[in-house]
């Protein structure tokens, strides 16, 4: 998140380097998230606090990465980058909230998309990778802005879809 935010304040190769390292960090975070869950489940090392450590860091990471990308998008002369990043972050947290609301009501977790966490992080990683090369065509942050717009719209669709699924389940339950 810090690398993404800092990328908005630098140009040239330092910006590209920050974005490439940020993209790598996003993917490493996903790998670590996958591995810790597999170890806990496969080796019976889960704890009563497992659900907290499974969800809370993901929500913090969503906010830091997406809001950070918004500040990184400010180089485009588009002052709305931070607002777009925060919008994407809030929607990402809302997708998890709707999923957990359904679980709290006794339904299985709904991981439907189109932009659940893995897809959001894939779009953000791709945006970082492409944005790192923007100086080649004199770009100034448009790629991160576009990536955040795709994430915001896709995540809004995800929230609406999950909410509709939850409403359907509640109606079927009677």
pLDDT at 81 over 70: yes
pLDDT at 133 over 90: yes
- Among the residue ranges 48-57, 73-82, 119-128, 149-158, the one predicted with the least confidence is 73-82
pLDDT in tens, 136-168: 888 778 899 999 999 999 999 999 999 999 999
pLDDT in tens, 10-68: 988 999 999 999 999 999 999 988 887 777 777 777 788 888 888 899 999 999 999 99
Residue-number span of the structural domain to which 73 is assigned: 2-173
The number of domains in the chain is 1
Asked if residues 102 and 171 have their Cβ atoms less than 8 Å apart, the reply is no
Average pLDDT over residues 114-134: 96
Q: Of all helices (H) and strands (E), which one includes residue 33?
A: helix 12-42
pLDDT at 119 over 90: yes
pLDDT at 76 over 60: no
Average pLDDT over residues 94-123: 96
CATH of the domain at 39: 1.20.120.1760
pTM over 0.85: yes
The secondary structure of 117-170 as a DSSP string is: HHHHHHHHHHHHHHHTTGGGGT--SHHHHHHHHHHHHHHHHHHHHHHHHHHHHH
């Amino acid at each position: 998140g810090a690398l993404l935010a800092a990328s908005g304040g630098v140009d040239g190769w330092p910006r590209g380097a920050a974005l490439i390292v940020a993209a790598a960090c996003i993917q490493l975070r996903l790998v670590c998230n996958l591995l810790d869950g597999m170890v806990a489940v496969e080796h019976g090392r889960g704890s009563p606090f497992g659900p907290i450590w499974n969800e809370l860091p993901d929500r913090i990471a969503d906010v830091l990465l997406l809001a950070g990308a918004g500040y990184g998008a400010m180089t485009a002369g588009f002052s709305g980058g931070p607002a777009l990043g925060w919008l994407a972050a809030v929607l990402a947290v809302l997708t998890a909230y709707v999923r957990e609301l359904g679980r709290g009501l006794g339904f299985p977790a709904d991981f439907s998309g189109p932009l659940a966490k893995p897809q959001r992080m894939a779009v953000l990683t791709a945006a970082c990778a492409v944005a790192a090369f923007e100086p080649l065509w004199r770009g100034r942050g448009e790629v991160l802005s576009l990536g955040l717009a795709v994430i915001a719209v896709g995540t809004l669709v995800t929230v609406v879809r999950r909410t509709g699924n939850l409403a359907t389940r509640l109606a079927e339950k009677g």
